[in-house]
Structures are given as C-alpha cells and as structure tokens.
Amino acid sequence: MKQQLTVAVSGLNNTDNPGPGIPVIRALRDWKGKDIRIIGISYDNLEPGLFMRDLVDKSYSVPFPSGGTENLMLRLQYIHEIEKIDFIFPNFDAELFTFMKIAPELEKMGIRTFLPTSDQFEERHKYRLSEFGEKYGLSVPLSITVGAISEVPAALNNFEYPVVVKGKFYDAYIAYNLEQVYSYFHKIQAKWGLPIILQQFVYGNEYNVVALGDGKGNTIGAVPMRKQYITDKGKAWAGITIDEPRLIEMTHKLISANKWRGGMELELIKDKNGTLYIVEINPRFPAWVYLAVASGQNMPAAAIQLAFGEKVAAFENYDIGKLFVRYSWDNIVTLSEFQQISTLGEL
C-alpha cells in the first residue's frame, strides 16, 4: 500500500446525535507512517465536520442515496476525477446499502471499500433481530416487526410494558402504554417509514462493543465500553472501556459465525441476573470508535489495510478504564465558507 492515501469519509454530522465520520478521521490521522488526505462527503451544508478544516482537507456535497444510485455515482465520479480517492468510508446506516451496491463499480474506478455483504447487512436488521439471535445462539429481547398500525394491538399482546418502539434505521422510544406506542409509531413512520419494530424493554446497564471483522470469520479488533453518560437521545456522551470477557466472546462468536466484513457495533444490555442481551447490531463503526483507537486498537486504519489485501494481525489488548467525554464547541464559520459549500457544493 502506498504511503499517501486519499480517503473519502461521510458521517460528518458531529451533532448531539453524532455520526462516526470525525472519529474515523481522527483514527486515520493517528495512523503512523501514513500521509492521509481526507475528503469529506456531506449530505447537509451544516454538517459540523465540513468546517473542521484541521481534520478535513476538502469536502463535497453529495446527493442523498434515496435520490438514486446514478446521481450518487455521477457525483462520486466527478469527485474522484479531482481527488483520486483510494478508499471510501461510508458511515451512515441509511447510505450503506447503496454503497454496498455500488462497491464493485467503485472498485473498477480504483476506489476500495470494506463493507459487509448484502446478506450480512440484511440479516442483522433490527426487524430481523429475533431470527438473528436464534440463528447464532445469542440472547436478544423479543422483537416483533409491524408493517401497519393495525398490527400493533395484536403484537403488543406478546409484551409487557414498557416496550421500545424503534425505527428501521434510527430512533427508539420507550412506551409505557398503548397511546404512547401509537404516538411513537406515527412519529417514527413519518421520519423513517415502515416497518416499525416493537421490542421488549430490558432493564439494566447498557454496554457496547466496537469490532472489526476481516470477512473470513476472524475478529481483528473488539473493544467493549460502558456508557457513563447518556443523552436524551440515548447516545453515549461519556463512556469507559471495560474488561468483560463475555462481551468479547460474544463478538468473536458472532463474527466467526457470519464472517462479518467491516466495522460493526454491538449494543447490549445486561439485566439484573447478568444476562447479556443484544439489542442492536450496527453495520459500521460507531461515533465512539476513537475510544478504541485511543485504547490501542486503530480499527479504521486496520479496515483500510484489509481492503488493500494486507495481512493484519488481530489486536490482542486494549487499555481498560480509558474514558471518552464528549463536549460541544461553537466553531466559528465565515459566510464565505458557508456560501461556498451551499452554492458550489465544495469546500
């Protein structure tokens, strides 16, 4: 692999519901011996990462994947002609499927990716979690997918309140009665469409694992974290690496069984009896991935190495008891910068 690399990264929305783009970029900036040029890819002109000029060398607006793959491909071709991209890191759940679809075309253009296969991506969907747990022998809370509001009452017969109402990509609300379930159903449907997932709420502490699978069944990295401070959106605002071998074992078991390729995040809850339930599997690195990097496992860099066919040894250790604490920062942006990204789609 050459020493100078140009890497395009999306998910620059470093908001109160942050995307993984900026942490992934920080990981790549920490990659010793590599000279990385970062190309930001944005869907919104106010994504904070666009204006973090010390981290992002150049940014381009791209059309939403929902607008069709052709438009996205045309835009990426244009960006590639200028920037000669070596690798692309899509970081939004909602764009991953599109990128998986266009990955062969990108590859022909000389742009590598390191993404899960369609089967892997599909089977870990929230609305297939029960099936997934059964297939791989993992504990998951009861989940029922509903495609219409008329199906809700019958589905609820299987649950005890509180029930978690989840969107297929994002958003989750805890409902304590039928009225709340209906209200959240409509709210999520308006934003993310159907289906909606009803999931049994599990009382307990939340744990997460960030991991990297090599696509052959090997776990290249895995770092567990306990959320220390949670925002009203349920996002970790502070977290600490922990030593819980069962979390690592579960991750290895899952990756070994489904041969996961790429970054992933497992979201788990430990109930009062100590049982660990997987509540979600995200098919990409999480926004807290930099904690893993700071703890000794630079998984984003390893993902690129794997994409280039390099032999990557699995990380064996990480620092336990290392914390991340997020903060907000009012970045001052000039009107000309905002104008440039708004009108020209480049910054």
Partner 1 sequence: MVNLAHLQKSTIMQLRIKGNIAVSDSGFVFDPSTGDSYSINPIGVEIIQLMKQTLTEKAIVDAIVERYQTEPQTVEKDLYDFCNLLVKHQLADRI
**104 vs 321 by CB, closer to partner 1:** 321
Secondary structure (DSSP) of 260-291: -EEEEEEEEEE-TT--EEEEEEESS--TTHHH
Q: Select 144 or 236, whichever has its Cβ closest to partner 1.
A: 236
Nearest residue (CB) to partner 1, 99 versus 290: 290
Nearer to partner 1, 58 or 322 (CB): 322
Select from 312, 269, 313, 315 the least CA-distant residue to 295: 315
154 or 320: CB nearest partner 1: 320
What tokens were used for 262?
Answer: 């790429």
- Where does this chain bind partner 1 (CB under 8 A)? 205, 225-226, 228, 239-244, 320-321
* E-state strands within the chain: 4-9, 35-42, 58-61, 87-89, 143-146, 163-166, 172-175, 196-200, 205-214, 219-230, 236-241, 261-270, 276-282, 323-325
Of 340, 304, 225, whose CA–CA distance to 9 is shortest? 304
Nearest residue to 298 via CA among 274, 314, 321: 314
Contact (CB, 8 A) for 50 and 347: yes
The CA distance from 87 to 89, in Å, is 7
Considering beta carbons, is residue 3 or 273 the nearer one to partner 1?
273
285 contacts 20 by C-beta, under 8 angstroms: yes
CB of 204: closest distance to partner 1 in angstroms? 11
Minimum distance from residue 271 beta carbon to partner 1 (Å)? 13
**Shortest distance, position 274 Cβ to partner 1, whole Å:** 9
Q: CB 245 → partner 1: shortest distance, Å?
A: 8
Instruction: Give the β-pairing of 35-42 and 58-61.
Output: parallel
Closest distance between partner 1 and the C-beta of residue 226, in Å? 3
Cβ closest to partner 1, residue 194 vs residue 242: 242
In angstroms, what is the minimal distance from the CB of 310 to partner 1?
32
Closest separation in Å from C-beta 243 to partner 1: 4
- The two three-digit tokens of residue 31, written as one number: 């990659």
> Minimum distance between the CB of residue 165 and partner 1, rounded to whole angstroms?
28
150: left (phi over 0), alpha (psi -120 to 50) or beta: alpha
Q: Tell me how far, at minimum, the Cβ of 228 lies from partner 1, in Å.
A: 7
In the complex with partner 1, the residue whose CB is nearer, 273 or 336, is 273
Closest to 38 measured CA to CA, from 63, 61, 59, 64: 59
Contact 113, 215 (CB under 8 A): no
Residue (109 or 240) nearer to partner 1, CB: 240
Distance of CA 150 to the CA centre of its chain: 31
Percent helix, strand and coil across the chain, each to the nearest 5: 35, 25, 40
